[in-house]
Structure 1
Amino acid sequence: MSTFKAPKGTYDLIPPVSATFLAVREAIAAPLKNSGYGYIETPGFENVELFARGVGESTDIVTKEMYTLTTKGGDQLALRPEGTASVLRAALEANLHKAGNLPVKLWYSGSYYRYERPQKGRYRHFSQVGAEAIGTEDPALDAELIILADQAYRSLGLSQFRILLNSLGDKECRPVYRAALQDFLGGLDLDEDTRRRSEINPLRVLDDKRPEVQKQLVGAPMLRDYLCDACKTYHEQVRELLNAAGVSYEDDEKLVRGLDYYTRTTFEFVHDGLGSQSAVGGGGRYDGLSEMIGGPSLPSVGWALGVDRTVLALEAEGIELELPATTSVFAVPLGEEARRLLFGTVTELRKSGVAADFAYGGKGVKAAMKAANRSGARFTIVAGERDLAEGVVQLKDMESGEQEAVALDKVTDEIRRRLG
């Protein structure tokens, strides 16, 4: 019999590993929930045009990596390759920016899809937690988001990551730099693809990882030499706020990030324990994106952190998260009457907030105790006919091995007391 397998470049998240992924998602979301960010969920697919306009025609994401489909009605859709364009589209559609309270602060969590060559840390389906602050131009917002991501990583116990920081200028100074860079690139020996990229968005060429391209880029004009005074001042304020918060970062003038919509502040979180796929997350300011997708001027800033990459970073640092046991109490009934009564006890325990499970399938005592052991439960309740005749159950502490009889009607209270 042939069995189906997950598509190439994807993975299934299954217990017990999935518990770590959930804990990572929660750790990243916690500082956001604490800072005025509300949860948003958008569809897994959008109009192709949203990403072509928003993410940028020249990006690898749009030219090579998007999963596109044509519906029966002839609509061109794409599985979302990133979160920002969708979140901004949803905020505009719901007129959140008109509710009078800017910035609109949103956070999200979900799966994203890119057709890439699969390798460790890079999949065709991946999970991210992201945050966007929409509608306000303020260096304190840029700093806030970087600080919250730093806080999330540190709460997980990570320490060997670095924050790279740069400014990409704005619509005043970037075109001047762009022209100078295009002039420089025009004199190089570049392949057809790279030359085309340099015509659409020359900054992307700086991001080219190939050694033969990097070698030719020595002496390329630097963006920092072209920043206007307003952008310089803005960037300096972001840096001062990070310094004051004790968040360390490195200035990286080659950092451009892979999306066309970024302006001014850009940043990346990298972990040196991950080999070539070292970026665990990143983001920046995207003041022109709203207009690109047909909205009003809404200067905004945001980031997305990779959940899978963060889990790899934890592995690289040898960090095992302390996860609560999925089961605290396991019930083992011996006989029909015990089944009925203990199932009631398990239901009662669950209602009172205690994680409880049950030996299903009428297992013998040996198999049932093995199941109790595997569940990781701290306590096991065992009851047979003689126990029930006396109105008690046997409560066994799985850590110490000690066992004692407890009155059936008092067992829930006794377990709650012992679990504290």
Structure 2
Amino acid sequence: MKYLTCIGGLLLASVLLSGCQQETTQPQAGRVTEVAYLTVTPTEYKIDTQMQGRVVASLTAEVRPQVGGIMQERLFTEGEFVEEGDVLYQIEPATFQAAVNEAKANLNSAKATVATAKLKDQRFADLLKFEGVSQQDADDAHATYLEAKADIERFEAALETARINLEFSKVKAPISGRIGISNVTPGSLVTASQTTALSTIRTLDPIYVDMIKSSTEILKLRQLLAKADIKKGSTDVSLLLEDGSEYELKGQLKMQEVAVDASTGAVTLRAEFPNPDGVLLPGMFVRTRVNEAVDDNAILVPQQGVYHNPAGEAYAYVIDEDNKVQSRVVETISAVGNKWFISSGLKAGDKLLVEGSSKVGPGSEVKTVEVQMQSNGKMVAVAAQSGNSSAAPSSAPSAIKGGV
């Protein structure tokens, strides 16, 4: 009997406890869910683009001989700065000097010949008036004089050519810049306009950085710039070196290629950088940052306030005037740190739900707490920031109990 009495008592206690639990959960079912929202506020945002780039010399000239001969001397130090017009190499000049001397002699001979031919032409012309010579002889004398005059012009041109070739035996720098390794040594035989360059000169200050940007991104930027609140950015370009450090001097965007590369679908952009210390060298890979546009009324919202459905479509929850949740389709342009840059779907003054979304859905009635996002990404109640601690939520780090 005692055993049966004990069993009965346990059953009665279980029934009473179950009744108490039902009484406590029923009010919870009717309780309005508390969520946190952030007021959408437009702000100025500089739309920067990062691109891969390669450093190239602003001027490049391959040094080649314009006459052939034996290389007599190299007159520069490899790697040093040379000025335009500096003599870099000396080709054996003896044969070219001999050609100049020969041309001079030929010219002097032609001048002597023309003097004699001129006198003869004049005499025959006078004699012809008195029929002292035949017309044929007079014509021959005049032709000889004209040929002698032409010979002078021909030998003058030959002398000028010989002098030019003699000057070409001094191989000079076509541009100013840093000269590289010499590919020939004294004693080598070189030929005019040979395939192999004697050396290469590159102008490194200023220096160029060629960047690659897809044609799709360029079209998106143009569409963005067509909007009223968005204006074109500056031409300043920042540079990150291969070791991750930032180059201290700013560059300027100079030009954009006029055609799209058919193999890559990309367009080349070129920036010019000052390079007084020679930090940037041709061939280096770098990363660039270009301010392409400025949005005076950009919508930047926390990433935790934007969701994606199974189809990949972005949406957000906003709270209407009746404190009910509404779903909005939004369009994101890019991620900006821990925020999304929104192009459509949200406007100034919208109450964007940022915490508590897992407990509600479209049409849900909610109790709201306004929050602001700090620089570290933490949500803090607006009342707590203003110093009114009584209105601030008690939980941390989330602004509402239960987090997202």
Give me the TM-score of the superposition, normalised by structure 1. Answer: 0.18
Q: Relative to total residues, which structure has the larger strand share, 1 or 2?
A: 2
Larger relative contact order, structure 1 or 2 (CA cutoff 8 Å, min sep 6): 2
Give me the TM-score of the superposition, normalised by structure 2. Answer: 0.19
Q: Relative to total residues, which structure has the larger helix share, 1 or 2?
A: 1
